[in-house]
Amino acid sequence: MLRDTSAQEANTNVDLLFIGAGPVGLFGAYYAGFRGLSMAVVDALPEVGGQVQAIYPEKKIYDIAGLPGVPGQELIGNLVRQAAPFSPLYLLSQQVQRLERRDGGWRATTSAGVVVDARAVVITSGVGAVTPRPIPAGEDFLGRGLCYFVPRLEVLDDKDVVVVGGGDSAVDWALAALPRARSTTLVHRRRQFRAHEHSVQLLHRSACTVLVDANVTELRGQDRVESVAIKVAGEAEVRETKAQVVVAALGFLMDLGPIKDWGLELEGRAIRVDSRMRTNLPEVFAAGDAATFDGKVKLIAVGFGEVATAVNNAAVALDPQAGLAPGHSSDLTLPAQVGA
C-alpha cells in the first residue's frame, strides 16, 4: 500500500487539490487525470485509504457495483493502481491547516509547511478526523491486547476474543473472529443492537457468546490482557472471561478540524453542496461523506459518483470550453503504467 515518504514537495502547483485520500479521493484523482488535470492528494494519515485502510482493511465490502465482495485493502490497492497512470502527488501525514483565496485559485498550507496552489479544490475528507471512543476500563492495555480495530485478522488466530459494542463494527468483528478464534464473546451494554439486522441474526445463530445489558468493568492481566470482568444486569456475581484480544468497537469521535473555519456552509459535520457538488465557495467542491444534500445516502458507491460529478464540473469551471461529458474511457489509451 502506498505510504508516506520523506521526499515531499515543499511547494507545488496543480489543477485540482483533493483533501482526503480515502476511496472517494483516490477515485477522484483517477478522474482528474482522465480529464487531463494535474492533481495532489493530501491526507492526515500516513497511508492512503482513509478509514477503509486504517480500520477494516481485511473486512469485505459488499455494496460496490460489480464487486460481489472485496476486502477493503484490495479495493484501496485497485484504486491506487487505477490513478497511478496520471501520477498523483500524495502528501501524507499532514493536514490542510489553511485554505486561502489567491489569484482566482486557492492556496492550501499543510501542517508540514507544504504549500499547494490549486485552481480548484475537491474536499473528500469524509467525516473529518476520527478517533475511537475509549473503553471506560483498561485503557492502559492499549496495544497489549486491547485494540479499537483489527488491521490484520491473523491477530485473532487461536485467541480468546472479547468484542465490546453493539454497532456494525462490533458485530462484524465478532463474526470475523468466529472461524479463527478459540472463543468469541460479544458484550453490549444494551439489549437492542444498532448493527444491520441480518448481521445480528447471523451473530445469534453462531457460536459466539452474546452478553447484552452487560458492561466490561475491568481488563485484567500482567504485561498483556489475560481476562476481562463483565457485569451482566440481573446477575449478582461479576463474570470473568478469558481474553487475549479485546476489540473495543464503541464508535468514533469525529472532528472536521480546520475545515470548519474556511467559510463553508456546513450542516452538522458535512458540507452543503448543490447538484454539481459545488460548495458556497468558488471552485471548491465536496464529495463523499464530506458532502450533504437533500436525499443524501452515505455509501462508498454513491461517493464514487459524486466525486466524478465534482471533477467533471470542476473541469468545466476551469475551462468553460471543456465539455461536461467526459466521453467513454474505453475510447482512450491510458499511459503505459496502467494496471501496474
Q: Is residue 248 within 8 Å of 147, Cβ to Cβ?
A: yes
Burial of 169-188, coded b for 16+ CB within 10 Å and e otherwise, reads bbbbbbbbbbeebebbbbbb
Q: Is residue 40 within 8 Å of 14, Cβ to Cβ?
A: yes
| Residues whose CB is less than 8 angstroms from the CB of residue 14 and which lie 6 or more positions away in sequence, other chains included | 37, 38, 39, 40, 89, 116, 117, 118, 119
Q: Is the dihedral of CA 12, 13, 18, 21 positive or negative?
A: negative
What is the H or E stretch that residue 115 is in?
strand 115-123
- Residue 246: per-residue pLDDT: 97
56 is in an annotated binding site: yes
Per-residue pLDDT in tens (0 to 9) along the chain, 340 residues: 565 543 455 689 999 999 999 999 999 999 999 999 999 999 988 889 988 887 777 778 889 999 999 998 899 999 999 999 999 999 998 999 999 999 889 999 999 999 999 999 999 999 877 678 889 888 899 999 999 888 788 999 999 999 999 998 899 899 999 999 999 999 999 999 998 899 999 999 999 999 999 999 999 999 999 999 999 999 999 999 999 999 999 987 777 889 999 999 999 989 999 999 999 999 999 999 999 999 999 999 999 999 999 999 999 999 999 889 887 777 766 664 444 3
- Residue 16: per-residue pLDDT: 98
List, in sequence order, every residue forming a beta bridge with 122; answer none if it has no partner. Answer: 18, 285
Question: pTM of the prediction?
Answer: 0.77
Terminal-to-terminal C-alpha distance of the chain: 13
- Residue 340: per-residue pLDDT: 39
117 is in an annotated binding site: no
- Residue 323: per-residue pLDDT: 85
| Residues 7, 209: Cα–Cα separation, whole Å | 49
- Residue 337: per-residue pLDDT: 47
- Residue 335: per-residue pLDDT: 60
What structural domains does the chain harbor? 11-130+253-331 (3.50.50.60), 134-250 (3.50.50.60)
330 is in an annotated binding site: yes
| Residues 153, 58: Cα–Cα separation, whole Å | 7
51 is in an annotated binding site: yes
- Within 13 Å of residue 204, how many CA atoms lie on the same side as its CB? 12
Neighbours of 92 (CB within 10 A): 19
14 is in an annotated binding site: no
| Residues whose CB is less than 8 angstroms from the CB of residue 98 and which lie 6 or more positions away in sequence, other chains included | 107, 108, 109, 258
Q: Which SS3 state, helix, strand or coil, does residue 105 take?
A: strand
43 is in an annotated binding site: yes
- Residue 334: per-residue pLDDT: 63
List, in sequence order, every residue forming a beta bridge with 220; answer none if it has no partner. Answer: 227
Burial class (CB in 10 A: 0-12, 13-18, 19+), 115: middle
